[in-house]
A = this chain, B = another copy of it.
Amino acid sequence: MQVVEVGVEGPDGETYRREVVRHPGAVVVVPATDSGTFLLVQQYRAAVGAELLEVPAGKRDVTGEPPEVTAARELAEEIGKKAAHLELLARFYNSPGFCDEMAHLYLASGLSDVPLDRHGVEEQHMSVVEVPFGDVDAMIEKGDIVDAKSIIGLTLALKRLQ
């Protein structure tokens, strides 16, 4: 994570300074099974001090790697699956007020098993949670899913699958 100052030119010609976070971007993957469920991961998030239920995701930290390759890699690493179909649903900025992180969001379907390949402290203590399509809206409403990228991913995936 890198915090830098950037100049913002006002329409009056003056320049203002702003502190922003530089981020390599991320991939977000919504894995949908043929039996009508999503495969989520439960993991501890040090920044918020809590266990959160999220869709698989990861930083684009390999220079030059196309986002769909990173997405496939995260899917194998975090839940041990390979997808026959990986469809780009959207691209979005998580927090454009102070960070340039852009996420590429994919729907993954036609899933088959591959070896799990977790590394890093957080990944090693993830667990996979299977959630029926029909439970998602209520889980968001009740606050069981409070991660922005997961709310967007699951909501757009449901629309696509309907």
| Contact status A21-B47, CB under 8 Å | yes
Report chain B residues within 8 Å CB of A93.
45, 48, 52, 146-148
- How many residues of chain A have a CB within 8 Å of chain B? 54
| Contact status B90-A143, CB under 8 Å | yes
| Contact status A3-B1, CB under 8 Å | yes
Best-buried of A6, A18, A97 by chain B (most CB within 10 Å): A97
In the complex, 13 of the A-B residue pairs with CB atoms within 8 angstroms, ordered by the A residue number, are A1-B3, A7-B46, A47-B98, A47-B100, A48-B100, A52-B96, A59-B97, A92-B151, A137-B159, A148-B148, A148-B149, A148-B152, A152-B152
Q: Is residue A91 within 8 Å, beta carbon to beta carbon, of the partner chain?
A: yes
Report chain B residues within 8 Å CB of A95.
47, 94-95, 99, 101, 148
In the assembled complex, the Cα of A18 lies from the Cα of B48 at a distance in Å of 12
Report which A residues bind B (CB closer than 8 A): 1, 3, 6-8, 10-11, 16, 18-21, 26, 44-49, 52, 54, 57, 59, 90-103, 121-122, 124-125, 137, 140-141, 143, 146-149, 151-152, 155-156, 159
Report chain B residues within 8 Å CB of A125.
10-11
What's the dominant secondary structure at chain A's contact region? Answer: mixed
In the assembled complex, the Cα of A94 lies from the Cα of B124 at a distance in Å of 23
- In the complex, how many angstroms separate the beta carbon of A16 from the nearest chain B beta carbon? 5
| Contact status A148-B92, CB under 8 Å | yes
In the assembled complex, the Cα of A21 lies from the Cα of B1 at a distance in Å of 9
- In the complex, how many angstroms separate the beta carbon of A102 from the nearest chain B beta carbon? 8
Report chain B residues within 8 Å CB of A97.
26, 45, 47, 57, 59
